[in-house]
Structure 1
Amino acid sequence: MAWFVLALAGLLEIGWAIGLKYTDGFTRPLPTALTLALALASFVLLGLAVRVLPVGTAYAIWTAIGTVGTVALGILVFGEPLGGARLLCVGLIVAGVVGLKTLSP
């Protein structure tokens, strides 16, 4: 169950990271409120997950889900550049997280 909670926290991290773009520097009230709500929910779920999971592994996985998802949505939604070097870097993040997960109890 803790892994599911952690995955959900990571998905919410993608939401608030993308939401930052829509806040326009926190000048738009509704996107700002939604972004802050997603961030709070993500942190709460991360906090629940680390009650059971190793904090270093959980944090790395949480940030990796957020990073990979945000990069992917940045490319798909905002037309950010897609290049071999970026894909390689994202692949290294995924490889590191898989390694941490494999070595975790």
Structure 2
Amino acid sequence: MAWLVLVLSGFFETVWAAALSASRGLSRLVPSVVFGVALAISMVGLGFALRTLPVGTAYAVWVGIGASCTAVYGMVAMGEPASAGRITCLVLIVAGVIGLKLLR
């Protein structure tokens, strides 16, 4: 259960990052509210996962999921560059997250 909550919390990290960008410095109401709610859900989920998972592993997985999904969102939805080098780096992040799960 902790792993499922941790993965979902990582996805909510992507939601709050995208909403923060859309809020334009917290100056737009709806994206700012989405940011706050998603941030709270993400943090509470991480806290729940830390009840049973080691902090180093859980935090690295949470950040890895959030960072990689946010980068993919930026490439797909925001027109950020999707070069071979960037995609390779994202694959390495995902491989590290999977490795942390399998080798714990």
TM-score in terms of structure 1 length: 0.93
Amino acid at match of 1:48: F
Large movers: runs of 4+ above 3 Å: none
**Alignment deviations for residues 17-68 of structure 1 (CA, whole Å, 9 cap, x no partner):** 1111111111112211110110011000100001011111111111111111
Question: Structure 1: how far apart are the matches of 2:10 and 2:93?
Answer: 14
Please tell me whether residue 31 in structure 1 is matched to residue 31 in structure 2: yes
Alignment correspondent of 1:3? 3
- Structure 1: tracts of 5 or more residues without a match: none
- In the alignment, which residue of structure 2 is the partner of 1:75? 75
**Cα distance in 1, alignment partners of residues 99 and 76 from structure 2:** 27
SS of structure 1 residue aligned to 2:25 = coil
CA deviation after TM superposition for structure 1 residue 99, in Å = 1.9
Structural RMSD (CA): 0.9
Number of equivalenced pairs: 104
Pair 1:103-2:103 in alignment: yes
Distance 1:99 1:34 in 2: 31
How much has 1:97 moved relative to structure 2?
A: 1.5
Instruction: Extract unaligned runs of 5+ from structure 2.
Output: none
CA contact (8 A) 2:65 2:97 kept: no
The whole-number CA distance in structure 2 between the counterparts of 1:40 and 1:80 is 27
Letter in 1 for 2:67: T
Question: Is structure 2 residue 44 aligned with structure 1 residue 50?
Answer: no
Q: Structure 1 CA distance, aligned partners of 2:69 and 2:19? A: 13
2 CA distance for matches of 1:86 and 1:35? 26
| Percent of aligned pairs with the same amino acid | 46
